[in-house]
Structure 1
Amino acid sequence: MTDHVIRPVRADEWEKVKELRLVALSDPLAPVAFLETAADAAERPDAFWQDRARGAAEGRGVRQFVAEAPDGRWDGSVTLFIEGVGTTDFLEQEVEQNQGHVVGVFVRAEQRGTGIVDALFTAALEWAWSLDEPELERVRLFVHEGNARAGAFYRRFGFEPSGVVIPKPGDPASKELEYVFVRPVG
């Protein structure tokens, strides 16, 4: 990997959170990777981005990790939400086990293949496993059926298809596949 620092976002970094999200949503794979468009995100007020950065930096329910280059530029990000037993997930289904949910995975095109995504996932899973209230049983994510590159990475990293297949929100003709990483024993 390059000499990037992998770390959680800080509450005052909302402008960088916004900038990287807009870059991610402008990527050619964005329509199969994200549930939001660049145009919609660009219209959000500064208060939205401030709240988003603060929540991802300070809350126990979500943490965003970034790959920061020596010049301060963010070259990648991954966000992990906590879904506790009895809560409702984004599909409006009751959560049956304590789990993490990875979203917002992005690495700038020129940095892909450098190991940044591995480092981001390592940091996110280390944080997930460090939580003791609730102690997570697994981490999950969804990947579009047509996003073979992402699916290959998730499998290489240790995620396994669960067999759960859902229609893509907003595009019921497309499918999203659930992958899970079960908490290591010991």
Structure 2
Amino acid sequence: MQTVVLVGTDHNFQRPVNGPHTEGIAQFRIQIQELCLQYHLAAIAEEMSVYALAEHNITESVAQQVCALLGLRHQFSDPSSREERYKLGIRQDNDIRAEHLCSDSTQEQIEADVLARGSVPSDRIREQFWLRKVQEFDVWPLLFICGANHFTSFAALLKASGINVVEAHPDWEPTANRGCCES
């Protein structure tokens, strides 16, 4: 059976760096390991890319580290570059604002355009992309890590595609820092 154990979180916990999230990252790593063992998972896929890691001067994600430790397969499921996102029609809010730099649009017009073409339509495109990547990967059961803002809609998309979904954490946060971070 195709099963996805789904975890939503703040992307800061997916990237192993020193700084204000160090303790949370350690807790996240433990949580991911525990889920892998509890559900006998074969792989981890995540809303992340080599491109996104490189933007933070990082070469591997927490999920990759867990996969190496447990002997699991890993997949980056997000588009691999800004160019690929553009070709897919995925627009980040700041990308839309940047398109208006040389226009005579008012701030209200720009923000209306951001709302019309911004994150919600782009999120649905991205989630469809992740679904295709996971289906092509075809390793089950797997853990999927995404931003908490995608949890509900991506769970619904997976279910609509006939995939069994275990909703493990809609918005995982470290216990010591509850409420400190946004997704």
TM over 0.5: no
Query: If each structure's strand is expressed as a fraction of its own residues, which one has the higher value?
Result: 1
Say which structure is richer in helix: 2
Q: Which has the higher contact order (CA 8 A, sep 6+)?
A: 2
Normalising by structure 1, we get a TM-score of: 0.31
Question: Which structure has the bigger radius of gyration?
Answer: 2
Q: Which TM-score applies when normalising by structure 2?
A: 0.32
